Amino acid sequence: MVTMLLSGLVMGFIFAPLALGVYISYRLLRFADITVDGSFLLGGVVVAALLKEGYGTVTGLLVAQVAGALAGMMTGLLITRFGIRRILAGILVMTALYSINQHILGMTDPRYFFPAEHSLRPLSESIAMALYGSLDAMEFLGGGFLPETVGAAVMYGGATVILSAALLLFFHTRLGLAIRGAGGNETAVRAMGANVSLMIVLALALSNAAAALTGALFALELGSVEVGGGVGMIVTGLASVMIGGALFGRQRFSLQLVSAAAGSVLFAVLISLITLNDRFSEDIKLFTAIFVVLALVVPRWVRRLRGGAESLNARTCAEGED
Amino acid sequence: MLAIRHVEKSYPVSGGENVAALRNVDLHCERGSFVVIVGANGSGKSTLLNVLAGSEFVDQGSITLGAVDITRVPEHRRAAMIGRVFQDPFQGTIAEMSVRDNLALAACRGEGFSLRWALPRGLREEMRERVAVLGIGLEDRLDQPVSSLSGGQRQILTMLMATWHKPRLLLLDEHTAALDPRSADLVMNLTGRIIADRSLTVLMVTHSMHHAVHFGQRLLMMHRGRIVLDIRDGEKRRARPSELVARFEELRRMDRIDESVAALLREQYL
């Protein structure tokens, strides 16, 4: 049980970059960018390809993010340069990425297993060692749960905090502020002299780089990557953003951003509790989709019950669609 | 300062024809002049502001601002030189962002959107001072989202944003038209004050004959894409709202005569 919760925590931290990425597309740009389904897997196959070529894990993670950023820019260019509708642009790039990912994986074998030495496990183990002195002492103290899971939780937790802080700082720079503004009101931001098209491309690059990072970390943690992974990642990201928004409110921007990462952790723990029962392990995506539907619909019911017309503002927050 | 030379602009309408919105418009404005533009719907006054701001490009002719030919400069680049306040209070500000963040964006105008900190301490203090001077209590609401402000407050905020860094040219596009009469007067009086304090060069489109007569040193009336009246200084000071309305009526009557003549010709020759 504790181990289950802990690995849920680890998964939550691994999926936090994805949640932050979806926050950028869904809350700031106001559309659900399905490109992340493709760039999630892109991150996994890029890190696999690089490790196979003998590059280090850190290089692999960095290149995976660059690849994700390029995918996001592609979607951004389809929207801004060619005037393709935002949802469709995402679908097109996601579809194209399906083939590209297969090519990068580069074999008929639809699944690639990382060699044991290629993972972040040594790092998380050394963190666990540093924390508890030795693995044995840990075993003795903890009575049952795996010390490297604790180490992994600390490692990914630290990474999540650093990433959230970096994004938070970024969105308080002039460029970051313009990106936030471009999602809210293009006319006003253009009148302030910002190149709105560039802002949209940058926001999607950032969003998909984050999704690719999650994909790469997930592949490393799992020890394998397979074609067909990444389906429904946008919905997982949305679930995190919504659970975070519901719990931590939508008041201050800083709080909103961090709440997406926190939502990811909560959602993953929730999933791990549900999958405690083996019967439900096949139903995660169904559960995730239902959860998002409820998160979209229930607030509207509540508002209707409270009476009166829905405020325009609240409605655009809930839908955020084209 | 601002020179508009032989500008033409037309739009395609259904049926494959083009309708001219600006016909051979020539206009020169000196630095520091406050020019008011009136005209009926479809007279071309909004199109004129749009081609100046760069939302649309002219078909023919040129526009120079200072020494720069801006005829083909894209909108977001022109924005470094040109401030703009829109008719719709929702257009000029970002509703979900705080008043402070909106002003911080305005402070980037002309300086670029780099990775510099958007809200350094000095800027925060400057904001408090410049907002307090307006006397509408905005200084206590800097942290609140713009969506909590009234339409009038929003327009005043947009006005402050458009002039945060002194623009070479300020465009006011019926910026009081969507407000109730009291807010409209408040916004217009503050607008006049900001323009005078900072000796801005302004083009203001208005539907209010009252504002048209009381503000600015020069008055243009547009009709069917042309400037049909251009009075300034003493002559403008003597103008009365009723005279402007009478002039409007006269133009409209002439239109009607044009139309009936055209109808007559059609009947006789087709």
Tens-place pLDDT, residues B172-214? 999 999 999 999 999 999 999 999 999 999 999 998 888 999 9
- The sign of the CA dihedral B240, B243, B247, B248 is positive
- pLDDT at residue A138, as a whole number: 52
- pLDDT at residue A52, as a whole number: 85
Q: Which amino acid makes up residue A87?
A: I
DSSP code string of B58-102: -SEEEEEETTEE-TT--HHHHTTTEEEE-SSTTTSS-TTSBHHHH
8 A C-beta contact, residue A39 and residue A191: no
8 A C-beta contact, residue A17 and residue A214: yes
CB count in 10 Å sphere of residue A150: 21
- pLDDT at residue A288, as a whole number: 87
Q: Please tell me whether residue B22 adopts helix, strand or coil conformation.
A: strand
Q: Is B76 on the interface with A (CB under 8 A)?
A: yes
The residues in B 125-154 lying below 8 A from A, measured between CB atoms, are: 147
* Cβ within 8 Å, pair B104-A177: yes
* Cβ within 8 Å, pair A178-B84: no
- Work out the mean pLDDT of chain B and round it to a whole number: 91
State the Cα–Cα distance between residues B127 and B145, nearest whole angstrom: 16
Q: Please tell me whether residue B42 adopts helix, strand or coil conformation.
A: coil
Helices (DSSP H) in A113-173: which residue ranges? 121-132, 135-142, 147-170
Model confidence, pTM: 0.88
Tokens read off for B202: 């302004």
Mark the ranges of chain A whose per-residue pLDDT is less than 50. Answer: 140, 143, 309-322
- Least Cα separation, residue B154 to chain A (angstroms): 12
Mark the ranges of chain B whose per-residue pLDDT is less than 50. Answer: none
For residue A184, give every residue at least 6 positions away whose Cβ sits within 8 Å of its Cβ, in sequence order, or none: A28, B94, B95, B96, B97
The residues in A 123-142 lying below 8 A from B, measured between CB atoms, are: none
- pLDDT at residue A145, as a whole number: 54
Which of B94, B104, B119 is closest, CB to CB, to A185? B94
- pLDDT at residue A313, as a whole number: 47
- pLDDT at residue A53, as a whole number: 85
Per-residue pLDDT of A194-232, as tens digits, reads: 999 999 999 999 999 999 999 999 999 888 888 888 888
For residue B167, give the chain A residue with the closest CA: A192
Q: Is B183 on the interface with A (CB under 8 A)?
A: no
Helices (DSSP H) in chain A: which residue ranges? 2-14, 16-22, 35-52, 57-80, 86-105, 121-132, 135-142, 147-170, 174-184, 186-191, 196-222, 233-248, 253-274, 284-306, 312-319
Tokens read off for B88: 């719709």
Q: Which amino acid makes up residue A217?
A: L
What is the helix (H) or strand (E) element at residue B190, kind and residue range? helix B181-197
Per-residue pLDDT of A260-287, as tens digits, reads: 999 999 999 988 888 777 777 778 888 8
